[in-house]
Structure 1
């Protein structure tokens, strides 16, 4: 198992101790912790981190705001721990740069599953720059360059967080096909079972905000009511 660096950011020592115990039992040894946002940010400035478990409610800051600051230093996977579950809170977290979330109270094995899913994706990510054949997904209005990891809309590169890009890439590789939320969650998040409706829904919204002329009336990434989503290409209906 690749030894990844995990940072636990929470002011509740009972949660820190529980997670650290379970992580070590699963073979993870590079586990670091911070009880405040300031300490977390200071650590991230100095040391490499692969995966961050971030409590939303910290004594000195809001976890969502801290996430935005963290993104200036690292692209590490950020998993929120939160008691907030409404759409606005979820959207706020993702817009600040978060990748996923787990609601309290939670089963620590769910955290382990997320970390292992992250590791599986990392192991299967190709080194794009060494590829001879470019992987370009051209939808006319927008282009997804798989090798460069870029989304280009009307000739301009549009910033796209890693998890949003991975979801868009999955749609691009399966154009004109209805993809269920369960299929999406398993393929993009790497989980063995479907957990949360908001996660897929919010990331789809973030894609539409980037590729659609009018995100409220999408022409490319369509919702197929009761079934899932479909990314349109060519003349398919």
Structure 2
């Protein structure tokens, strides 16, 4: 399923960068530079990202009108304003509030939380960079090619274990003993070989992995 983001941002550089980021990850993006016609696009949208500082109607006004008419569509306020007063004003109607600068992966993670809360995205569905993961169906899809990625049993269990511990550094012992249910012997290359083959299937460029990161001398980390 392709989710549609309504992005309201008048800054050309930020707007184009955020739109390109989400399009690359398989979302559809409607980018507006003001909020004047935003309501016309709400029925097509699954989630809204809106800046506070907009020409004409400010983000607070636009966001409040959106929530009044479409209360079930989540709204994310994205702004450079960091004062508690601004945050409280935004959170009076918005579902989340994020200040600039921010990491795009965190923004996507928060958007996915809003989609799950609203029911647009099942809690069993995860979007990770170019991957769409359906945990209930045990399927992994490459969104760029729209093809299913087939893993061996051990590759799948390794990936799911890493996915259960996002952004955490996991030792080789932790991963091995959880997946193989056996004692890990220092120097054993079995896990390393499986990780290499797993990367060949899920990474866009296995030589420069963006999903499974090697933590030298310790183990691995799955980056969200």
Q: Which has the larger radius of gyration?
A: 2
Q: TM-score, normalised by structure 1?
A: 0.47
Q: TM-score, normalised by structure 2?
A: 0.50
